[in-house]
Structure 1
Amino acid sequence: MKVLLSRKDTVKFLILSELMKRKDSSQRDIAKKLGITPQAVSEHFKELISEGLVKAVHRGYYEVTERGKEWLRENLFDLHSFAEDLIKKIYSDQVVAIAVGKIEEGDNVRFWIEDGYIYAKRDEKGNGVALISAEDGEDVLVKPTAGFELPKEKGEIIVVKVPDVVEGGSRKVNIEKLRELIWSRPKSIVVSVGVEALVASRKAGVEPIFFGGKAVCVEAAHMGSGVIVLCVENMLDDLLRTLIDEDLKFDIKEL
């Protein structure tokens, strides 16, 4: 992070940033904004001009050159990567949950996993503290203060076989029974593996998870979420091998 390790480069970065934000900024304006003396800013401008990063427009006013913009882009990218990594570190020990009831910042809360989702509610003897306020159903950031148990049971997986298109595809699926199955398990996610399965889901009035469906099925079940996965017959063996390898139990239905 050269721009943060060198005071000279830091000031250079700030001056170029101010010129990009306000092209009518004078040296005196920038000195006042950055809290340094006009003399110091003047010296920096001399170096910026000699390096080809800035050019004079008219007396007392300047603009960033293409070379200066490129220098700024490179350092902005470095700063962005640095900040992104740092933010991930800062929030790595915090949890984003779905609020159950209204939660105020600073409330003690209990958070837990249910059906694959993390929930939080006010509880004086809970295992976390709310870092922001949230209404019922909103996302809330929680700082854990005690242990957090993963779900003891894996999610139920129901595999619905869908014929290949040459065997009739979605036309051979009893859409009414499929709709009943989906509505009987409102908390289960619906996944489709194969185009025929996607079409069958849509006929039942559901837009399923399609891209990366197999991986989603596995992850959701491990987190305790129920899954209804519609799978085309020519892709069924691959899906079942994956579920068996992941030690996930499943039921197969033909509708």
Structure 2
Amino acid sequence: MADADAGGSPDVLENKRSATRYQVLVEIAARQPAVSQGEIADTIGVTSQAVSDYVRDLVEAGYVDKGGRGRYEVTKEGVDWLISRTDDLETYLERVNSDVLGSVEVDAAIALDDVSEGSEVGLVMRDGVLHANPAGGTATAVTVTSAAAGEAVGVADFEGVVDYDTGTVSVLPVPTVTDEAPPDPEVVSAHAPDDGLLAVAGTEAYALVSRSGATPDVRFGSAEGVAEAGMLGLDVLLVAVTDAIPRHTSKLRDRNVPHRVLDSEEF
């Protein structure tokens, strides 16, 4: 039997006959005891005669018991054979996902300088966006495309960890229109980060930010957008109606993004 752990293909993938034999036994197990060979043929795309030949082979191998009038049941030996082959398939697929597909995964980054295909570059995070730095970085990758400075470049074969700090989210509560009066609009500019983002959630929050003369960076999908920005290293001021705050802070907790709700003494 081929060793899937060692990188070889499982027995059921070595040739078409092995694969079809496995499929037929799976279909018998799914349909037993009343088994229609015609239905199996239609399902796996072979002739009824071929299914008949495979069923006879499985009976002779002791993997299937044959009863009368198209009744078949998978034996204990047949179940054990299915389990072993299925385990081999799962191990093989795990290797394909981690080693093969993982090694060809391509991401995009902004080139900080002109780069040619096949170059090793460093990976750095700036303004929440991944950048490819020919001068190096704490993490490295290999370019799979060429790009001029400022263009997107494809990178793969990642090694190391991109070094950046998670951002902090400050939440400015705004009362609903039927509650108390909103805070002074100047509080927005007082707490907005210099190099971060300004987000709003709710009409009252949008009105306050508009009166301050600022333009929000995030108006829609703010719970997801603010959490994502914080994860990518950006500081955010979230101006939110009070009843919208719990769903935002819940998302921030789920993503382990540092955050604080400003109290009235800070207004």
* TM score, norm. by length of structure 2: 0.51
Q: What is aligned with 2:229?
A: 220
Instruction: Give the deviation of 1:150 after TM superposition.
Output: 5.0
Whether the 8 Å contact between 1:158 and 1:252 is mirrored in structure 2 is yes
Change in 2 beyond 3 A, CA 1:198/1:123:
same
Q: What is aligned with 1:33?
A: none
Change in 2 beyond 3 A, CA 1:228/1:136:
farther
Find 2:142's aligned residue among 129, 135, 144: 129
Instruction: Give the deviation of 1:168 after TM superposition.
Output: 6.1
For 2:260, the aligned partner's letter is D
- Number of aligned residues: 162
Q: What is aligned with 1:210?
A: 219
SS at match of 1:218: helix
Q: What is aligned with 2:249?
A: 240
Aligned mates of 2:146, 2:194 — CA distance in 1:
31
Aligned mates of 1:189, 1:92 — CA distance in 2:
34
* TM score, norm. by length of structure 1: 0.53
Whether the 8 Å contact between 2:226 and 2:236 is mirrored in structure 1 is yes
For 2:247, the aligned partner's letter is D
Q: What is aligned with 2:191?
A: 181
Aligned mates of 2:104, 2:206 — CA distance in 1:
36
The alignment yields a C-alpha RMSD, in angstroms, of: 3.1
Aligned mates of 2:121, 2:164 — CA distance in 1:
21
Instruction: Give the deviation of 1:106 after TM superposition.
Output: 3.7
Deviations 1:31-71 (A, max 9, x none): xxxxxxxxxxxxxxxxxxxxxxxxxxxxxxxxxxxxxxxxx
Whether the 8 Å contact between 1:100 and 1:119 is mirrored in structure 2 is yes
Q: What is aligned with 1:197?
A: 205
Instruction: Give the deviation of 1:159 after TM superposition.
Output: 0.8
SS at match of 1:137: coil
- Consecutive unaligned residues in structure 1, runs of 5 or more: 1-88
Whether the 8 Å contact between 1:201 and 1:208 is mirrored in structure 2 is no
Whether the 8 Å contact between 1:99 and 1:120 is mirrored in structure 2 is yes
Change in 2 beyond 3 A, CA 1:131/1:247:
closer
Change in 2 beyond 3 A, CA 1:114/1:124:
closer
Aligned mates of 2:183, 2:149 — CA distance in 1:
38
Q: What is aligned with 1:156?
A: 168
Aligned mates of 1:120, 1:159 — CA distance in 2:
33
For 1:137, the aligned partner's letter is G
Whether the 8 Å contact between 2:121 and 2:134 is mirrored in structure 1 is yes
Whether the 8 Å contact between 1:190 and 1:228 is mirrored in structure 2 is yes
Q: What is aligned with 2:55?
A: none
Larger Rg: 2
SS at match of 2:225: helix
1:111 matched to 2:123: yes
Aligned mates of 2:242, 2:228 — CA distance in 1:
22
SS at match of 1:127: strand
- Consecutive unaligned residues in structure 2, runs of 5 or more: 1-100
- Calculate percent identity across the aligned residue pairs: 21
Instruction: Give the deviation of 1:154 after TM superposition.
Output: 2.5
SS at match of 2:218: coil
For 2:145, the aligned partner's letter is I
Whether the 8 Å contact between 1:153 and 1:224 is mirrored in structure 2 is yes
SS at match of 2:132: strand
Q: What is aligned with 2:156?
A: 143
Whether the 8 Å contact between 1:191 and 1:228 is mirrored in structure 2 is yes
1:98 matched to 2:110: yes
SS at match of 1:143: strand
